[in-house]
Amino acid sequence: MQPSESRLINSISDSLADLASGLGEKQQAVLFNVQIALTELLLRTDKAYFIARFEQGLALVDEGVALAKAQAAITGNVPSEMLNRPGF
């Protein structure tokens, strides 16, 4: 079985943690920065994060359209950039 990206990253991270105990303060600081980079890579393998961000973006678009509709209802003016939007 071929390891997944996340398993490989976790394995590297665990190995670095084992190495850190025998190193000086400066080398431990360098390993800490490497751990941060590995954590970021691990987060990027999690597709749920990107799906959640995309869904938040869609919700913001819906909220913006609702606000533009409310503004148009109050002022009687439809913003020109909204005239070509579906559902407006």
What are the domain boundaries of the chain?
Answer: 5-44, 47-82
Residues 34-87 have pLDDT tens digits of 999 998 888 888 888 889 999 999 999 999 888 888 888 888 887 666 666 666
Specify the pTM.
0.49
Residues 6 or more apart in contact with residue 77 via CB below 8 angstroms: 71
- Alpha-carbon dihedral angle through residues 53, 54, 56, 62, given to the nearest 10 degrees: 170
